[in-house]
């Protein structure tokens, strides 16, 4: 069985602060994919990143960065210099990787609500 | 391409009625997924299709739920004899092979 744990239910920061959202996962699969999605107040889930389990390189995209550590089964997400527009619920998700390299169903965590204020 | 669309966006029904939701994926995406999301929770997987074939169904999907994807394009999700516990946001997503899933705006179901 697969499981994703996002222990932080809600985080509040002041604009321009850095913030890290934690994600810990459990799986018996040897290969898998990890994802982060953003759900703004409008409700539609927005894809942020996909990471393959055998690629442990950290990734940076603008103010966003991701730290994948297989040894601790964690895939944390950091927003640098947060902005009010970053306010949303952020979900970490896990998918098995099929023999042909395909991802399939996503198992989501319960999400972390980020509130960024002025 | 306008993304994944879902219809209706909101549905209010009385307990015991049948409801049907429609999802139009991004064109040429061969995979289509249905998820359900309740307040304060992450989406939960229900079922998915590759083209017209339904490849997997969650144990969450009781016999009252049925999904179809005729001709491998749009999909419908039907709930028969709705119960109050079926109240949730029903999300559809599509992807091309191993790529990331793109989600629609969802259909919010309220069962009175």
Three-state SS annotation for A44-105: CCEEEEEEECCCCCCEEECCEEEEEEHHHCEEEEEECCCCHHHCEEEEEEEEEECCCCCECC
Element (H, E) at B78: strand B75-79
What whole-number distance in Å separates Cα of residue A106 and Cα of residue A16?
32
Q: What is the pLDDT of residue A1?
A: 81
Chain B residue with CA closest to A99: the answer is: B98
* Ordered strands of the B65-68 beta sheet: B5-7, B19-24, B75-79, B65-68
Chain position carrying tokens 């429609």: B22
- pLDDT of residue B20 exceeding 70, the answer is yes
Please tell me if residue A48 touches chain B, with a CB cutoff of 8 Å: no
Q: Hey, are the CB atoms on A106 and B45 less than 8 Å from each other?
A: yes
Please tell me if residue A32 touches chain B, with a CB cutoff of 8 Å: no
- pLDDT of residue A60 exceeding 90, the answer is no
- If you average pLDDT over every residue of chain B, what do you get? 93
The SS3 assignment for B63 reads coil
Mean pLDDT of the region A93-106: 81
- pLDDT of residue B28 exceeding 90, the answer is no
**Cα distance from N-terminal residue to C-terminal residue, chain A:** 41
Half-sphere exposure (CA, 13 Å, Cβ side) for B92?
A: 30
Q: A117 vs A55, which has greater pLDDT?
A: A117
| Residue B33 confidence class, pLDDT cut points 50, 70, 90 | very high
Do residues A91 and A111 lie in contact, with contact meaning Cβ atoms separated by under 8 Å? yes
| Residue A85 confidence class, pLDDT cut points 50, 70, 90 | very high
Half-sphere exposure (CA, 13 Å, Cβ side) for A89?
A: 19
Query: Using a CB-CB distance cutoff of 8 angstroms, which residues of chain B are in contact with residue A45?
Result: 43, 91, 93, 103
Q: Give the tens place of pLDDT for each residue, B38-84.
A: 999 999 999 999 999 998 899 878 899 999 999 889 999 999 999 99
Tokens of A66: 């991701």
- If you average pLDDT over every residue of chain A, what do you get? 93
- pLDDT of residue A43 exceeding 80, the answer is yes
Interface with chain A: mutation pick from B5, B41, B98, highest number of A CBs within 10 Å: B98
Mean pLDDT of the region A85-89: 97
Query: Using a CB-CB distance cutoff of 8 angstroms, which residues of chain A are in contact with residue B91?
Result: 45
From the list B41, B44, B98, the residue facing A101 with the nearest CB is: B98
Q: What is the pLDDT of residue B98?
A: 63
Lowest-confidence region among A4-13, A83-92, B8-17, B56-65: B56-65
Task: Work out the minimum CA distance from B64 to partner chain A, whole angstroms.
Answer: 21
Element (H, E) at B92: strand B88-95
Q: Give the tens place of pLDDT for each residue, A103-117.
A: 789 999 999 999 999
Do residues A19 and A78 lie in contact, with contact meaning Cβ atoms separated by under 8 Å? yes
Do residues B102 and A47 lie in contact, with contact meaning Cβ atoms separated by under 8 Å? yes
Q: What is the pLDDT of residue A56?
A: 82
Q: Hey, are the CB atoms on A105 and B105 less than 8 Å from each other?
A: no
Tokens of A35: 């994802």
Q: What is the pLDDT of residue A42?
A: 86
Q: Hey, are the CB atoms on A93 and B48 less than 8 Å from each other?
A: no
Backbone conformation region of residue B3, classed left if phi is above 0, alpha if psi is from -120 to 50, else beta: left
């Amino acid at each position: 069985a697969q499981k994703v744990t996002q222990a932080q239910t809600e985080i509040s920061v002041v604009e321009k602060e850095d913030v890290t959202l934690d994600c810990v996962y459990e799986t018996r699969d040897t290969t898998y994919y990890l994802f982060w999605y953003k759900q703004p107040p409008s409700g539609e889930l927005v894809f942020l990143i996909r990471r393959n389990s055998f690629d442990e390189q950290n990734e940076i995209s603008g103010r966003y960065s991701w730290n994948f550590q297989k040894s601790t089964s964690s895939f944390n997400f950091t927003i640098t210099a947060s902005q009010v527009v970053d306010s949303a619920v952020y979900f970490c998700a896990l998918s098995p990787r099929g023999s042909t390299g395909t991802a399939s169903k996503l198992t989501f965590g319960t999400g972390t609500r980020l509130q960024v204020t002025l | 391409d306008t993304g994944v669309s879902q219809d209706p966006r909101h549905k209010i029904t009385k307990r015991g009625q049948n409801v049907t939701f429609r999802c139009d994926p991004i064109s040429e995406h061969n995979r289509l997924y249905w998820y359900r999301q309740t307040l304060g929770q992450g989406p939960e997987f229900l079922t998915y299709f590759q083209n017209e074939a339904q490849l997997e169904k969650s144990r969450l999907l009781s016999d009252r739920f049925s999904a179809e994807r005729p001709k491998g394009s749009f999909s419908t999700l039907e709930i028969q004899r709705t119960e109050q516990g079926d109240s949730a946001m029903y999300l559809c997503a599509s992807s091309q092979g191993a790529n990331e899933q793109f989600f629609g705006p969802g259909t919010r179901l309220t069962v009175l």
